[in-house]
A and B are shown apart, each in its own frame.
Chain A
Amino acid sequence: MAASAAVRTSVGLTLKLSRIIPDCSSCPLYGSKSCVRSATNSQRRSSQDTFRIIYRHLQTSIGLYHSDDGSSNTEDPDDVVNVVYVDRTGQRIPVQAKVGDNVMYLAHKHGIDLEGACEASLACSTCHVYVSDAHFDKLPEPDEREDDMLDMAAMLQENSRLGCQIILTRELDGMELTLPKVTRNFYVDGHVPKPH
């Protein structure tokens, strides 16, 4: 299974970054507390986090109006990414998302029962998902810390990734994310508690 890393062909993370690295002085967040590149915010950020946050702030700097409830009617159509979650019962849940969305938080927003115990800090494997074959190779190589956590995941497959490390791009449109069948429903009536 370690060979899967060699088999994957992917657009390098560096390439992606080089296409979208913003010119700081033109960004409305320049110098403010929200700026991820400011010195006070740079503690404990991995390159992955910065990458994730750069996407979010790029959207803000373009000036699009985004509502936070996941509805996409005011979206720039170029920003829309459609994905499908397949939950543990096999039910397919299509989700209309946008470029820059984090697969784990997106699942939570849509009530999909994907755990995220360590809140995307690469300290657990509870957001483990299987990625559709056609899209798996389009993901950037995992950080070795993600691979370390994947080692802990039950029922690991060649197409396993941690949901909290997958950021949506246009080319991931149509991606299917399947939850491993490791746990049963929490309640007999199918009710699933909201992630906090």
Chain B
Amino acid sequence: KKAKHSRCNFYGNVNVGRDVTINELKEAYHAVVLSYGAEGNRTMGVPGEDLAGVYAAKDFVGWYNGLPNCRELNPDLSCETAVILGQGNVALDVARILLAPISMLKSTDITQPALEALAQSQVRRVLIVGRRGPLQIACTIKEIREMVNLPGTKPEMLPADFEGISEVLKDVPRPRKRLTELMLKTALETPGEKELERRKSASRSWGFRFFRSPVEVLAEPRTNKTSAIRLAVNRLEGSGADAQAVLTGEVEDVTCGLVISSIGYRSLLIDPGLPFDSRKAIIPNSMGRIQHTPGVYCSGWVKTGPTGVIATTMNNSFDTARSMMEDMDSGALDVSAVKSGSQSITALLRGRGVKPVTFADWEKIDSVETKKGEAEGKPREKLLSVEEMLQVAQT
């Protein structure tokens, strides 16, 4: 395993930017690579976004996945309809968690509190809303297929949304074509007997809604809880990936008690010493070499923005590694000087009262979670607070 390699050391529980600065790391090491992803989220920027019942997908996902700082989310699942803004894989994940049978969720590593809340959930209908049309949908086919095959649910699409789509499919590349064909089949094809039966007995439903942008979240006047979302109706100008959503002036209100905005993650600036493009929310770079900052590189979503699947991000990281190798060869990255490395950094952290967690410590946490999970037929039962994790790590 790479983490156990003698030349690889893991230091968890260290906040770069607060516990140690990029400059201090630059002093101690020949090269620094930033690969910290995108933990912020894009906001809708509409009135009512702060109402009870409105959540960022990042927080909702963090809640059911056991991220310590999302523990107190307590999402209100007492309404019938949930509206998700955004149609990427994260939006589909949220829809799946809201509608999956509890029996399916029980054997995953979803947190116990989330499982209990979802068992009591009244949510029966989830609408996944996008600004543009079916040909611009951002999710991938695997996630759509999981929704189509989700036990106890039936699809609820608007055939009118798919007018003219099948005619343009022949020239579309394979991935987009297969994805669109699956949507068309789900939306337009008359289901066979077995599927008809399955849909008749389904108690939950989900569907895509296209050509809609959020304008305002409306509240019930007495309780100030979310009661509906006002959506602007769009039309498309142009086609394919570059099609633009243009307002028509019409609006539509959709009754709902839960609004989840899943319109993209954003990288954060963790150290003021670094350049940052706040429009694109990435660190400005060229092939992974951070601009104006020799010796510091970046990789992953903080380099390219928050899109792409495993293979894309993997290749992206290979590119950064290649840039580093080239720089070592050309001398642009000077590796001849003797650097103090972890010796100075660990001393520095100790002086600041920071207790790093080693990989061996991580393995203790992993082992405790896995054992707890075994007792419940789950791959793991996650520890939900940093304090508990540190307690285990330091035994």
Contact = CB atoms under 8 A, between A and B. Distances in A.
- Bound pair (A, B): yes
Interface of A: 1-2, 43, 115, 117-118, 123-126, 128, 144-145, 147-149, 151-154, 156, 182-184, 186-188, 193, 196
Contacts of B315: 154, 182-183
Given A43-B107, A148-B145, A152-B175, A188 B329 contact: yes
A156 B174 contact: yes
A152 B309 contact: yes
Nearest to A145: B142
Contact of B178 (A123, A151, A184, A186): A151
A126 B178 contact: no
A152 B178 contact: no
Chain B interface helix/strand/loop/mixed = helix
A124 B310 contact: yes
Counting chain B residues whose Cβ lies within 8 A of the other chain, the interface size class is 20 to 34
A126 B310 contact: yes
Given A184-B322, A187-B325, A196-B1, A147 B311 contact: no
Nearest to A43: B107
A130 to B, nearest CB: 15
A145 to B, nearest CB: 7
B140 interface: yes
Interface of B: 1-2, 107, 140-142, 145, 174-175, 177-179, 309-312, 314-315, 318, 321-322, 325, 328-329
A153 to B, nearest CB: 7
B304 to A, nearest CB: 15
A47 to B, nearest CB: 15
Chain A interface helix/strand/loop/mixed = loop
Nearest to B5: A193
Nearest to A149: B142
14 contacts: A117-B310, A128-B311, A144-B145, A148-B142, A148-B145, A149-B142, A151-B140, A152-B311, A154-B311, A184-B322, A186-B318, A187-B325, A188-B325, A196-B1
A151 B174 contact: yes
B117 to A, nearest CB: 24
Q: Which 6 A-B pairs have the closest CB atoms?
A: A151-B175, A124-B310, A148-B142, A1-B174, A196-B1, A148-B141
